[in-house]
Amino acid sequence: MSVQQMNDRLLEKIQRKEAVIGVIGLGYVGLPLAIEFSNTGFPVIGFDIDEGKVNALNAGESYIKHIPAEKVKGISQHEKPFTATADFSRLRGVDCIIICVPTPLNKYREPDISFVLDTTRTIAGHLQPGQLVVLESSTYPGTTDEDMRTILETTGLKAGEDFYLAYSPEREDPNNPDFALSSIPKIVGGYTPGCLEAARTLYGSVVARVVPVSSTRAAEAAKLLENIYRAVNIALVNEMKLLFDRMDIDVWEVIDAAKTKPFGFQAFYPGPGLGGHCIPVDPFYLTWKAREYDFSTRFIELAGEINTAMPHYVVERTVQALNEHGAPVKGARILLLGLAYKRDVDDMRESPSLKLIELFRERGARVDYNDPYIPVMPHLRRYHYEMASVPLTVETLAQYDCAVIATDHSCYDYGFIVEHSRLIIDTRNAAAEHVGEKVVKA
């Protein structure tokens, strides 16, 4: 079969929705993507090494708070039902393989693409002519066309000739009611024009707009730019927060005033530190890769320093506030409100709350937490706390020297919290309507 015939065959299968879609990694990115393809009419197989997730999905259960079980049950009842598996040999029967695995930082804040490379090696063991392989995980430019391609071509098959290779960055924003996966434009870069055409056709069947770029590297770089832009601007307002605190100026009031300008300004907000998988992680992927080109990304690294320091600032403000209330931090009981990295989700990836717990404990404080979305804290890559959410009652709040609002969940009754707490450290301006001697902004 010629390259053109192979290309035509895959495109035809995609257009007829007969192409089998395989999604590797069924977390916050992979599961919504699998659901979208399934709801569009494709046969979908979800792959994950976590058999607990596989069993839950096959039983019609969801393990992600903002994805209701009804959605999972629905895709299992389609004419072409979704199935989940930990058996990666089934990749041989898949037409389009989409990789949605973690790309964290290691303890030295350097890129850890081991999950991507291990997954690529697994795919190589089952790679078939005519298959399309797409990476969605955030990474540095060159991962797809250098690292992944080299591994896949050890099979003797050549990218762009025997199989297709592309990169399309995920743009998932968990629990954002304003943007569904299908309505968010999808950037796509291919290793060759044929690879781009295959990936463009695939994503064009489930999203309203596909944005093609010239290469996988351009697509990888676009993803990094999106999140570096946010990281740098958040660092700017975090620095303003530190300065304005010394000047006795309320940074939240300043931002609210500035954003009334109808042009030339976009509001970003300070907080206790960066959270989520993308913003705290992606900038360091580019700074690391830049060293290969003897280039120092000073602007990005400065933003990283500021954002990384914010949990330390919150702790220092808490220590100061406790002292002013006659309570030393050593032996103090502190209640952390919110463990998730942002409001109304159960996603703890890179949450600054985890660092706050570590820092408070180092100061000798006794720390508990409340988060209605995370009843028990799971073991994470860097943190292994044996903790469970405590109830938020009058009796509970009265036991603590201080409550720290780290995540501004909309279900919290901030009037109730302020009324029954001895001291509030508010890192999110959540208790702005209840400002008083009890409430300290940090």
Name the band, by pLDDT with cuts 50, 70 and 90, for residue 106. confident
**Tell me, what's the pLDDT at 181?**
85
**Tell me, what's the pLDDT at 317?**
96
Are 219 and 168 in contact, with CB atoms under 8 Å apart? Answer: yes
Across 7-16, 175-184, 273-282, the highest mean pLDDT is recorded for: 7-16
- Please state the rounded mean pLDDT for residues 178-203: 94
**Tell me, what's the pLDDT at 388?**
96
- Please state the rounded mean pLDDT for residues 251-260: 97
Name the band, by pLDDT with cuts 50, 70 and 90, for residue 178. confident
Pairwise CA distance, residues 398 & 351, whole Å: 26
Residue 58 has pLDDT above 90, yes or no: yes
Q: Which of 195, 278, 402, 411 is catalytic?
A: 278
**Tell me, what's the pLDDT at 213?**
98
Single-letter amino acid, residue 253: E
Pairwise CA distance, residues 298 & 321, whole Å: 34
The CATH number that domain 230-441 falls under is: 3.40.50.720
Least confident window among 191-200, 271-280, 350-359:
271-280
**Tell me, what's the pLDDT at 6?**
83
Name the band, by pLDDT with cuts 50, 70 and 90, for residue 8. confident
Residue 436 has pLDDT above 80, yes or no: no
Give pLDDT tens digits for 313-330.
Answer: 999 999 999 999 999 999
Name the band, by pLDDT with cuts 50, 70 and 90, for residue 422. very high
Residue 174 has pLDDT above 80, yes or no: no
Residue 227 has pLDDT above 80, yes or no: yes
Pairwise CA distance, residues 184 & 59, whole Å: 30
Name the band, by pLDDT with cuts 50, 70 and 90, for residue 78. confident
DSSP secondary structure string, 342-402?
STT----TT-HHHHHHHHHHHTT-EEEEE-TT-SBPPP-SS-----BPPP--HHHHHT-SE
Residue 333 has pLDDT above 90, yes or no: yes
| Residue 293 or 433, more confident | 293
Name the band, by pLDDT with cuts 50, 70 and 90, for residue 367. very high
Q: CATH fold of 3-214, please? A: Rossmann fold (3.40.50)
Provide the residue ranges of all domains of the chain, joining segments of one domain with +: 3-214, 230-441
> For the whole model, what pTM was predicted?
0.92
Name the band, by pLDDT with cuts 50, 70 and 90, for residue 380. confident
DSSP three-state, residue 144: helix
Name the band, by pLDDT with cuts 50, 70 and 90, for residue 412. very high
Count of CB atoms within 10 A of residue 252's CB? 18
Pairwise CA distance, residues 150 & 430, whole Å: 50
Give pLDDT tens digits for 346-365.
Answer: 999 899 999 999 999 999 99
| Distance set, CA 45 to CA 20, 33, 201, 226, 382 (Å) | 7, 11, 19, 30, 31
**Tell me, what's the pLDDT at 166?**
98
- Please state the rounded mean pLDDT for residues 254-278: 94
Single-letter amino acid, residue 332: A
DSSP three-state, residue 194: helix
Residue 404 has pLDDT above 90, yes or no: yes
| Distance set, CA 358 to CA 115, 294, 336, 424, 429 (Å) | 27, 35, 12, 19, 23
| Distance set, CA 82 to CA 47, 52, 135 (Å) | 11, 17, 21
Share of residues in the chain with pLDDT > 70 (%): 100
To the nearest whole number, what is the mean pLDDT of the chain?
94
Q: Is 278 a catalytic residue?
A: yes
Residue 206 has pLDDT above 90, yes or no: yes
Least confident window among 4-8, 73-77, 152-156, 204-208:
4-8
Same topology between domain 3-214 and domain 230-441: yes
